Copies of this chain bind each other. A is one copy, B any other.
Amino acid sequence: MFESAELGQSITKEAFKKESVKLREQLLRAQGRFAEGGFAAVLLVGGVEGAGRTEFTNLLLEWMDPRGIQVHALADPTDEERERPRFWRFWRQLPPKGKLAVFLGSWYTEPIIGRAFKRLDADAFEVELDRIADFESMLAREGVRLIKLWFHLSKKAQRERFEGLEGDKDTSWRVTKQDWAFHRRYGRFRKVSEQALLKTSTAEAPWEIIEATDPRWRDLAAMRRIVQALEAAAGEAARAKPAPKPDRPKPRASNLLRRLELSLESGKDYEDKLERWQGRLARLTRRLRDERRSMILAFEGPDAAGKGGTIRRLTQAMDARNYRVISTAAPTEEERKHPYLWRFWRDLPRLGRITIYDRSWYGRVLVERLEGFCAPEDWKRAFAEINAFEEQLADFGTVIVKFWLSISPEEQLRRFRERERIAYKKFKIGAEDWRNREKAPAYEAAAAEMIERTSTPNAPWVLVEAEDKRYARIKVLETVCDALERAL
């Protein structure tokens, strides 16, 4: 596929000058229109060593309004990055709507180098490429426009570039031993890159291969592509989008939540059990810390199902230095400017730590689906996106357990009334809770679908009969301990 970028295309200095005046203007105009359109954009500048990725990025910053651009030159990950799944460092740098982020070094770098040097086998490489394709498809649907440029040099052109730089005392420092090591493996890099580009050139995020032998040709071709992409994003934003609308699924009589035996009770020895399991959890979370593993617990369930109280029984056994409870409410302005999962990635625990989500990313297929806070397309694709997210966590070694706390409508009513009565519980109940009650059957049906579609071996849903709070607490404690014992 690189043959079309080995044609020796070039452009004269005069032609470049003339063309660049026009292009700069177009670029600025496109940037302005793009900024107002409600999309974010990510520009990946990839390609072979010596093709001038940094040179080009410098020019881009000169031509565009630098206030709308962030450049991320990703070299070795920092320790904060190494302690999270590989994609964390990319998530944290995703631009908000209206901005363009340029990535020098991206999610392609590690797999391609790994495969070229045979640290990754063919299967593992395929898995990485699949993951990338999923990630980019998700970005596209979440309003992040991807512009992917690949700067190509033939082997000969690369050698000449390196020799040229080395020949000049002002630039010789730019050619490193690693560059020559890469050059010796040129053929292998070419093959691996071709495979990566073919697999990840999608309609939403195609690769544009640019001949980089002549820097002027390279710069003009790349700039034109960026103008196009920004204009397309601006145009798309102007067109109508599918409108969010509420979806109220009907409950099926056979759904798995209906089959729960809600009458289960804890028995008289609750205090003893609580103490025993908490003791065990305390020891296990200490081991988690010592062995530098991390854990994520997510809690979902109807209002007043006892999520907060159950979480408190867990944290009582944990060291305050090691865990965080994240309570998920309506997204902030900043969160709304980023892809849906962004805010959950942000809070992922470091090694040895625990994050507990009191409501979670499942809000998309629950409240957002029911209330019409997102378009039907959005919650429908969320199942697969969530599975991909959790798979990355599991692959990284994070222990994940998700709990669904189930109570009957009658018990919920009783608890609501109790909350209204008791002074220090009053802050927990409001008009919205009463309104939500009416949607309970649809909520249950959505939950049943969610559980069916997102229960995986590495991140299982645990259904908890929560009619008796104490029973629920012990079951959750026990489940967390078991998960830790299996993992450590």
Contact = CB atoms under 8 A, between A and B. Distances in A.
Interface of A: 24-25, 28-29, 32, 54, 57-58, 60-62, 65-67, 69-71, 73, 78-80, 102, 104, 308, 311-312, 315-316, 318-325, 327, 332-334, 358, 423-424, 427
Contact of A333 (B66, B80, B322, B334): B334
Nearest to A62: B316
Contacts of A61: 315, 320, 325
A187 to B, nearest CB: 28
A316 to B, nearest CB: 5
Nearest to A72: B321
Given A78-B80, A80-B80, A333-B332, A73 B320 contact: yes
Contacts of A60: 320
Number of copies: 2
A25 B424 contact: yes
Contact of A58 (B104, B318, B325): B318
A327 B67 contact: yes
Given A70-B324, A80-B80, A332-B333, 16 more contacts: A24-B424, A25-B424, A54-B319, A54-B320, A58-B316, A58-B318, A58-B320, A60-B320, A62-B312, A65-B427, A66-B311, A66-B312, A73-B320, A78-B79, A79-B79, A332-B334
Q: Which of A25, A67, A78, A333 has the most CB of B within 10 A?
A: A67
A66 B424 contact: no
B424 A73 contact: no
Contacts of A71: 320-321, 323-324
Contacts of A321: 54, 57, 71, 73, 104
A424 B28 contact: yes
Given A62-B315, A312-B66, A320-B61, A424 B29 contact: yes
A22 to B, nearest CB: 10
B79 A427 contact: no
Nearest to A422: B25
A45 to B, nearest CB: 9
10 contacts: A25-B424, A32-B427, A54-B321, A57-B320, A57-B321, A58-B319, A62-B312, A66-B325, A67-B308, A333-B334
A80 to B, nearest CB: 5
A78 B83 CA distance: 11
Contacts of A320: 54, 57-58, 60-61, 71, 73, 102, 104
Nearest to A323: B71
A164 B66 CA distance: 61
Contacts of A104: 320-321
Nearest 4 CB-CB pairings of A with B: A73-B321, A67-B327, A57-B320, A66-B325
Contacts of A102: 320
Nearest to A424: B25
Contacts of A427: 28-29, 32, 65
Contacts of A79: 78-80
Nearest to A353: B73
A67 B327 CA distance: 5
A333 B24 CA distance: 33
A67 B325 contact: yes
Nearest to A425: B28
Contacts of A358: 67
Contacts of A58: 315-316, 318-320
Nearest to A64: B312
B315 A66 contact: yes
Choose among A25, A29, A58, A323 the residue with the greatest number of B CB atoms under 10 Å from its CB: A58
A69, A79, A320: which has the most chain B beta carbons within 10 Å? Answer: A320
Nearest to A316: B62
Nearest to A335: B334
A54 B67 CA distance: 44
